Structure 1
Amino acid sequence: MSKRGTTIMATKLLKQTAAASLTAALSLGATNAWAQEGAARTAAAVPHDLSAMGMFLNADGVVKAVILGLLAASVVTWTILLAKGLELRAARGRLQGSLDTLDDAPSLDVAASQLTGEADALALAFARAASAERALSDGLPAEGVKERVVLRLERLEAKARRAIVRGTGVLATIGATAPFVGLFGTVWGIMNSFIGISKTQTTSLAVVAPGIAEALLATATGLVAAIPAVVVYNVFARKVDGYRVLLADVSAGVLRLVSRDLDRAQAGVAQVRSRAAE
């Protein structure tokens, strides 16, 4: 091969090598630019604070509303726990004291005269209702009087039971609905995460994880609201059952005094008739 041919071939090889190097450089530059752009989008998509408060602040408006509603429900639960717990404790104590008075009283009139304090208001209402029915049924058969007294006392018991359970139904509602409300917030947050993936055109965990974490925060808040509500509702259900037993005991105590007074009156009438017959 001549010297000139060798030079031409070397020149061609140099040109091909330069073209390949240029192509590789351009490709590498494009790749680096795409990577830098993707990293910038990823950094912009990821919140800097992944604490509970940070996730809440970076959450969607709907998820924020769900979380705030669940937190409000949790506050309602604890408020009912404190208020209704104190009310039940005081009511049980008052009924127990009134029951002791009824057990020691020889007659209904004596019991009514001893039930004078504010703590005895419910038992006094029972005694007054029985006295009123006895006065209205004066001269009628004793069995009919007892039946009518029982009816009056049953109505008072029902009224007292409704008063003591007022507000506890909210606990059942919170316990039943809070998990589903939290689940709604989770579904909404995951939908937003998928929308973010489509906008950034990347499936990087750094992009997906924050949105899912924000969504799961709604579920966690729902459980925080629901679990105490269910527990408190069950505790109150047991305490209300005990209160109903005390109500029944007070009603039975009043009815016992009514029966005793009626039997005493009948015995007095029998003695008068016996003396008149003599």
Structure 2
Amino acid sequence: MIGLFVQADIVVQIVMIVLVLASFWSWAIIIDKILRFRRISADADEFENEFWSGGNLEDLQRRVGSSPDNPLAMLFAAAMKEWARSTEKGLGKHAHTGLQARIHQVMRVTIDREVERLEKYLGFLATVGSTATFLGLFGTVWGIMNSFQSIAATKDTSLAVVAPGIAEALFATALGLVAAIPAVVAYNKFSNDLQRMITRLEGFAGEFSAILSRQLDLSD
């Protein structure tokens, strides 16, 4: 493979370098996302077990902290912070609707922020998955053009003349596939994981909003 790279035309070499770098960066993103989604899922399970255990919400808030590194806990912390800020001076019945709207808005903003954080670099995987094959094909076409130019220059159609250029060209296509296939598979997997997390966050937000609404009704 090193020999094919060294003997290739400068344009094909640039294509190969770009594809190799894209492949390495894609795998770095893939490994990072696998570990991140696995950790987030485990932390979310642990948090939900604590949340639904029936303990005091203020105690859970103190344990979670103000900036937890988990979307579900972050959603809870943001809602509880708004709740505490709005109820510390007392609320009249007329203010309950406004508080519910603010808590809902805070949770919506938190969900959007956490989703944006989780989908970081997914666009790169999508780009590599959709363009790497065509970039490799460009290198292949360029290499084959050089092979035909060699035939024209030497006026020799033997395999020894055209084989090196064709081999270099096909190697560019192979690199394009090596970069594109994992990126496409990983992008689809992480998109599904992200969608499941969004559904989980929105479901928790709805349930927690109902709990806080009942708390407001009991405080009347």
**Could you tell me the TM-score, scaled by structure 2's length?**
0.87
Q: Is the 8 A contact 1:185 1:218 kept in 2?
A: yes
Aligned twin of 2:156: 202
Identity rate, percent = 37
Report the RMSD for the aligned CA atoms in angstroms: 2.2
Aligned length: 215
Q: Is the 8 A contact 1:172 1:230 kept in 2?
A: yes
Aligned twin of 2:116: 162
Unpaired runs of 5+ in structure 1? 1-51, 267-278
From 40, 59, 74, the counterpart of 1:91: 40
Q: Is the 8 A contact 1:189 1:214 kept in 2?
A: yes
- Tell me if 1:152 matches 2:101: no
From 95, 101, 119, the counterpart of 2:50: 101
Aligned twin of 1:270: none
Aligned twin of 1:81: 30
More displaced 10-residue stretch of structure 1: 129-138 or 218-227: 129-138
| Amino acid paired to 1:213 | A
CA deviation vs aligned residue, 1:78-97 (integer Å, no higher than 9, x gap): 10011111111112222222
| Amino acid paired to 1:132 | R
More displaced 10-residue stretch of structure 1: 103-112 or 73-82: 103-112
| Amino acid paired to 2:79 | F
CA deviation vs aligned residue, 1:225-268 (integer Å, no higher than 9, x gap): 000000000110111122212322332343133112201101xx
- Mark the CA change 1:137 to 1:251 in structure 2 (over 3 Å): closer, same or farther: farther
- Alpha-carbon distance in structure 1 between the residues aligned to 2:110 and 2:218: 26
Aligned twin of 2:78: 125
| Amino acid paired to 1:210 | P
| Amino acid paired to 1:246 | R
Aligned twin of 1:187: 141
Q: Is the 8 A contact 2:83 2:99 kept in 1?
A: no
- Alpha-carbon distance in structure 2 between the residues aligned to 1:126 and 1:65: 51
Give 1 or 2 for the bigger CA radius of gyration. Answer: 1
Unpaired runs of 5+ in structure 2? none
Matched position secondary structure for 1:166: coil
**Could you tell me the TM-score, scaled by structure 1's length?**
0.70
Cα distance, 1:127 vs structure 2 = 2.2
| Amino acid paired to 1:238 | N
| Amino acid paired to 1:124 | A
Aligned twin of 1:264: 218
- Mark the CA change 1:59 to 1:159 in structure 2 (over 3 Å): closer, same or farther: same
- Mark the CA change 1:202 to 1:108 in structure 2 (over 3 Å): closer, same or farther: same
Matched position secondary structure for 2:52: helix
